[in-house]
Amino acid sequence: MTRTFTQNETTYTIYPFKIKNTTYEVCVVKGKYNYINVNKISYIRSLGKDFKTFDEAARNYKNPQIKIELLKIELGL
């Protein structure tokens, strides 16, 4: 379920997806600040990794399923 909120002239849209038993969240940030954050959700909460573009984020991951999910989010599918 996609969530969107706006704060400090910036819109944050969070896209969750699951691969096997692991849940990830991709936060697309647009406005005053622009970046993509990819976070693996676990019992220990982390800040995830920030990337300037979807291409940069996809290059960082070897798992093809993560790359596909990032592409789907980028294309709005």
For the entire predicted model, the pTM comes to 0.88
* DSSP sequence for the chain: --EEEEETTEEEEEEEEEETTEEEEEEEEEESS-EEEEEEE-SS----EEESSHHHHHHH---HHHHHHHHHHHHT-
**Which domain covers residue 54, as residue numbers?**
3-75
User: How many structural domains does the chain have?
Assistant: 1
- Please say whether the beta carbons of 39 and 22 come within 8 A: no
Predicted confidence (pLDDT) per residue in 16-47, tens digit: 999 999 999 999 999 988 999 999 998 777 88
